[in-house]
Structure 1
């Protein structure tokens, strides 16, 4: 009888030990599944699908790198970024053209000063204003060759020139023409272009966008 009690106690202690080991193993597995730290104190790596867009690494695509290089190329002959808005200098008083007067009309008592510039001309800095000329010339020349300027053909034409989709906005058919915007902001600038694809009468003019954030046009003179 004493031997049976001894065996029962030994078996009970052995079973209790196994239960303790099993519980510890299960606890370890549960902690590992919940993203606990590794033995060296380094947190386990979460799966990519659980990361927010802000947490994912951001690397420019080859197309984005080529687009940025193109903007830099056309701006390299222009003034450095961060300049003040471009304001054309006023003509000297002694070089102002004389106006012919009708019979009996008197000349004005004071010289007439030119009105200050308004619109994109007054808001874009020298760098943006300079770069806009390069972009407008090549875009207009390409659009003049598009016989049927639909949103699809205009997008393809702009893509062929190096302007990527994420910087093309507002493609919209307007009768037999197509209107669009181009986001050309770089180095803190505010340059954008508003365009009208209309075959031989195509036109592109500069506009002004917010310096940062989503593309938003603030000032424009539509062609």
Structure 2
């Protein structure tokens, strides 16, 4: 009798130990699987998503049928501003403002200073779409170079020494002098103690990169094909 009880007790203890061991193995497996899943998720999150290459010309926001009356009004006001600023430049260099601001490239993060080779734009008769070709920088004419100086002068007058280099401050200052259309103003963004922004001033091909450091504003004008955004362009250097 005693032997049977002893054997039964041993069997129960062995069974309990085996059960505990199986549970421990299961938990370890689950933990390992969870760690693998977490690692896989982290790897996926760390992998950047490539921006798709446009398969057609960028749409003009003015062609959006959903624009409200107010948005149409704001767009027309912006185009009036662009036209008025450029008007004194037409066919003459007399429109250059006195004390023109510094038109030099603001420092760009990761810029090696090595010029980027550029292809010629397709001829006007070539209607095939090639994003890599139409995103090349376009040479500005004299009128638009003059207009760039005039826009820069207006912005520098509003910004220089006006306050700390914060995105909110720059956006407010630009809005007060008429540069307040969301699809015409890219940024402003704070980086390296400066606020950087890009203005789409195209009635023709003019775009303008700007940077404000709390004291002074610098500008870099360049030409952009109408089928792409200012931020799409591949700069020459």
Q: How far apart are 1:138 and its partner, in Å?
A: 1.3
Q: Displacement, 1:69?
A: 0.6
Q: Distance in 1 between matches of 2:138 and 2:67?
A: 39
The one of the two structures with greater contact order (alpha-carbon pairs below 8 A, sep at least 6) is 2
Structure 1: runs of 5+ lacking an equivalent: 1-52, 81-117
2:190 counterpart of 1:173:
yes
- Distance between the aligned counterparts of 1:203 and 1:132, measured in 2? 12
* Local SS of the residue matching 2:150: helix
Cα deviation, residue 206, structure 1: 0.8
3-state secondary structure, aligned to 1:199: coil
Map of 1:160 onto structure 2: 176
Aligned to 1:106: none
Deviation at residue 208 of structure 1 after TM alignment: 2.5
1:148 equivalent in alignment to 2:159: no
CA contact (8 A) 2:139 2:222 kept: no
The residue correspondences of 1:58-77 to structure 2 (distance < 5 A) are 61-77=72-88
How many pairs were matched up? Answer: 131
Distance 1:57 1:70, change over 3 A: closer
Distance 1:127 1:204 in 2: 17
Asked if the contact 1:70/1:162 (under 8 Å) is kept, the reply is: yes
Across the aligned residues of Structure 1 and Structure 2, the Cα RMSD in angstroms comes to 3.1
Q: In the alignment, what sits opposite 1:204? A: 219
Distance 2:207 2:162 in 1: 22
Change in Cα spacing, 1:56 to 1:129, as seen in structure 2 (3 Å) is same
Most deviating of 170-179 and 123-132: 170-179
The alpha-carbon deviation at position 182 of structure 1 amounts to 0.4
For the pair 1:137 / 2:148, whether they are aligned, the reply is no
Deviation at 1:66, TM superposition (A): 1.2
Deviations along 1:114-139, one digit per CA (max 9) or x if unpaired, are xxxx9999810122111111001111
SS at match of 1:61: helix
Q: 1:221 to 1:176 in 2, by over 3 A?
A: farther
